[in-house]
Amino acid sequence: MSEIIKIVIDGKEIEATKGQTILQAAVNNGIYIPTLCAFDGIKPKASCRLCTVKVNGRAMTACTTPATEGMEIENNTAGINEIRKAIIEAIFVEGNHFCPSCEKSGNCELQALGYRFMMMVPRFPYSFPQRPIDATNPKLLLDTNRCILCLRCVRGLKDENGKSLFAIKHRGVHAEIVMDHEVCANISDEMAQKAMNTCPVGVIIKKEKGFDEAIGTRKFDKQPIGHEIENKFNQGGN
Amino acid sequence: MSKKITIEPVTRVEGHGKVTIKFDDAGNVEQSRLHIVEFRGFERFVQGRPYWEAPVLVQRLCGICPVSHHLAAAKALDVIVGAGTGNGLTPTGEKMRRLMHYGQFFQSHVLHFFHLVSPDLLFGVDGDPAIRNVIGVAMKHKDLAVMGVMMRKFGQEIIAATAGKKIHGTGAIPGGINKHLSIAERDSFLLGADPLNIDKMIEWAQAALDFLKDYQKKNTDFIDNFSKYDSNYLSLVRKDGALDLYHGVLRAVDANGKKVLNDVDYQEYDKYISEEVRSWSYMKFPYIIDQGKEKGWYRVGPLARLNTADFIPTPLAQKEFEIYKAYTNGKPNNMCMHNHWARLIECLHAAEMIKVLLNDPDLLSGELVTKGTKTNRGVGLIEAPRGTLFHHYEINENDQITKANLIVSTTNNNEPMNRSVNNVAKSYMNGKDTITEGMMNAVEVAIRAYDPCLSCATHALGKMPLEVTLLDANDNLIDRKRS
């Protein structure tokens, strides 16, 4: 039987199972820690740093740090949220994120985080990088202008033989997501849609889906991001 | 001494513009021009983008009539996705788009009449500029101001219910629409508390029109003779000749009412219409190819539409159309200020059409989208509030846009607006020692009659002012007035 431990997040004592990360423990207890590169079913990578919390006074990523007995964790504090806001702003200026004409608008996690953390104008200068669009696949379009290099696609999207649909090319600031055209040559509509859903922003686009979801019906139109975790224990009128 | 005046920015229009008026040594107007000083470039930066983005991206040209761009682009893409034109869409698809369009027409025409034009009518062309504005109207004519605000609100709510939001929605998609109208939305428009229901809107549209007609009777000389000149007129009309703001065939008539273009399928618009570039303006000068650059220019917008159409297919607007046509004995109306009269008849028609559509069950259910065999070229035309709007796209085998050509309503009216500026400058300023603010406003009144959207017309960036500068014959600045 798994061992139950106790940790404290923002002064509230919660139970966790030994071996869980801080993020998993928080989610299970209805506590929202913002994430971008973390995705259910994919081994965490801690590349976006958005889930940064303070553990016993030290900054750690909640998605990769195991919860241990008696941990004192700061999460939803003004100081940490300001760091998170700065990270979101840095991600925005690093690419070309034009929400007004992006079909992921309303379903985009980066946009939703911008709203949640009340980003107005980024504090950093825009870098306006020149990035390519790969539209040569019949089912998928890759617009790397919007890429945040979370690598969810590289880590999480494999064909039936375990081959990745996407890969990373170059290093450092030149790093770029590319499509494996051989693997993606005959992908199904379902896989194309899964690929689009895996991307937290608007890089991987299922062709011709366009704006078929009306405003008001999209994922973040009615509730801010994180709401589903925070309201986990508030269902049924509690 | 010869001199040159610049009016910059032109006010109470959408976008940035300036007017220069050059005088000879005798103090007579030698040359006048409306310059569009903005530059945008949407035609270029839509290239390489996936085609389905166009209706959402290109509508950002404008915050006043984005719906027109949204729908014109969607209509062009209907052709590209194989849904064809006109009745190629499902009944729900076409009717939801029409409802969006009439909502847009209603709010835009109301905005123009109440917010931009009424100050000139209520306070006079040379009235005190301190009150000759929308705030002055609100202070001195509260009932009228409230009507304007509430009518605009109603139109905007129609847009939100069909496009998803009031400005820059996403409703129209290639081959159709992405939502139905809910019963609650429909009922709020049909049965909403006064004044926000369609019956009140029709009543107020009629009242605004009656106000204008009464004003015309009392100020006949001004309304009839202010910048009056012959031209060609162009618009879409329904196949049977009815006024149709959403879809139809191209028709152009000359000053005598003779059809110089008729029954033209707009997919082939570039066989009939071309554009000339002149060095002093970012806005092109379109013309009918057969007639040549000199004679082929034409007017679009409300005045033009009521000159090309044979009838209006709603009863109240048709009755008003008959009165309007009788005023010129059925001949094309060449009176610039009658644009306002025609605009308010269209406003009434839009309200009547909204009521017809709200009672149509196709809005509440039915297939939203239709698709067929894809092609690589599509043209979409629509009658925007300011006139005929052309969107033309071509795509490659990867679904990326390779070419976009937009001929915007105000661009079609480029030559006419320049003619009007010239007429008014000559009649108000020739031989005058002092150029007053009122004289300069008269020039703006002429431009305003076309309800131009300078931002759209040039695809340009920037704010919205008009400036007049006074230069001598050597182009030295004598005076500059900004509004």
Tell me: cis bond preceding A129? Omega within 30 of 0 counts. no
Q: Assess if residue B247 is contained within a domain.
A: yes
Say whether residue A188 is in contact with chain B using an 8 A CB cutoff. Answer: no
A10: number of Cβ within 10 Å = 15
Cβ atoms of B390 and B407 within 8 Å: the answer is yes
**pLDDT-derived band at A60, boundaries 50, 70, 90:** very high
The answer to whether residue A1 scores a pLDDT higher than 70 is no
The answer to whether residue A89 scores a pLDDT higher than 90 is yes
Cβ atoms of B11 and B481 within 8 Å: the answer is no
For residue B260, give its domain range.
229-334
Tell which phi-psi region holds residue B329, choosing left (phi > 0), alpha (psi between -120 and 50) or beta. left
The answer to whether residue A35 scores a pLDDT higher than 90 is yes
Tell which phi-psi region holds residue B258, choosing left (phi > 0), alpha (psi between -120 and 50) or beta. beta
β-pairing, B172-173 with B29-35? unpaired
Q: Please check whether residues A196 and A88 belong to one and the same domain.
A: yes
- Minimum mean pLDDT range among A36-50, A57-71, A198-212, B299-313: A36-50
For residue A115, give its domain range.
84-206
Q: Which of A93-97, A231-235, B85-89 has the highest mean pLDDT?
A: A93-97
**Where do runs of H (alpha helix) occur along B111-182?**
118-123, 134-140, 142-163
- Minimum mean pLDDT range among A156-165, B9-18, B24-33, B192-201: B9-18
Q: Please check whether residues A88 and A195 belong to one and the same domain.
A: yes
pLDDT on residue A238: 38
Structure tokens belonging to residue A46: 């801690």
pLDDT on residue B3: 79
* A208 contacts B400? CB cut-off 8 A: no
Tens digit of each residue's pLDDT (9 = 90 or more) over B245-258: 999 999 999 999 99
- End residue of a domain, out of A59, A76, A93: A76
Q: Name the residue in chain B with its Cα closest to that of A105.
A: B170
Q: Please check whether residues A107 and A21 belong to one and the same domain.
A: no
Tens digit of each residue's pLDDT (9 = 90 or more) over B142-178: 999 999 999 999 999 999 999 999 999 999 999 999 9
Structure tokens belonging to residue B342: 């025609």
In whole angstroms, what is the distance from residue B442 CA to residue B426 CA?
11
What average pLDDT does this structure show over B418-443?
85
Tens digit of each residue's pLDDT (9 = 90 or more) over B358-371: 999 999 999 999 98
Say whether residue A210 is in contact with chain B using an 8 A CB cutoff. Answer: yes
Q: Name the residue in chain A with its Cα closest to that of B48.
A: A133
In whole angstroms, what is the distance from residue B411 CA to residue B397 CA?
31
Say whether residue A89 is in contact with chain B using an 8 A CB cutoff. Answer: no
> pTM to 2 decimals?
0.92
Return the CA Rg of chain B: 22
> How many residues does this entry show for chain B?
483
Cβ atoms of B251 and B224 within 8 Å: the answer is no
Cβ atoms of B307 and B254 within 8 Å: the answer is no
Q: Assess if residue B262 is contained within a domain.
A: yes
Q: Assess if residue B253 is contained within a domain.
A: yes
The answer to whether residue B463 scores a pLDDT higher than 80 is no
Say whether residue A136 is in contact with chain B using an 8 A CB cutoff. Answer: yes
In whole angstroms, what is the distance from residue A103 CA to residue A213 CA?
9
Nearest-by-Cβ selection for A133 from B48, B168, B174:
B48
Give me the torsion for CA of B138, B140, B146, B148, rounded to 10°.
-70
What average pLDDT does this structure show over A83-88?
96
* Mean model confidence pLDDT for chain B: 90
What average pLDDT does this structure show over A126-133?
92
| Angle ∠(B481,B482,B483) on CA atoms, nearest 5 | 125
Q: Assess if residue B403 is contained within a domain.
A: no
What average pLDDT does this structure show over B446-459?
68
* Mean model confidence pLDDT for chain A: 94
In chain A, which residues have their Cβ closer than 8 Å to the Cβ of B165?
Answer: 215
pLDDT on residue B116: 85
**pLDDT-derived band at B24, boundaries 50, 70, 90:** confident
Q: How many domains does chain B have?
A: 1
Q: Please check whether residues A95 and A29 belong to one and the same domain.
A: no
Structure tokens belonging to residue B222: 């001004």
Q: Which residue has the higher pLDDT, B473 or A21?
A: A21
Q: Which residues of B touch A (CB under 8 A)?
A: 48-50, 52-53, 55-57, 60, 81, 163-165, 168-171, 173-174, 178-179, 369, 398-400
What CATH number is associated with residue A38? 3.10.20.740
In chain A, which residues have their Cβ closer than 8 Å to the Cβ of B173?
Answer: 210-212
Report the gap between the CA of A214 and the closest CA in chain B (Å).
Answer: 5
Say whether residue A208 is in contact with chain B using an 8 A CB cutoff. Answer: yes
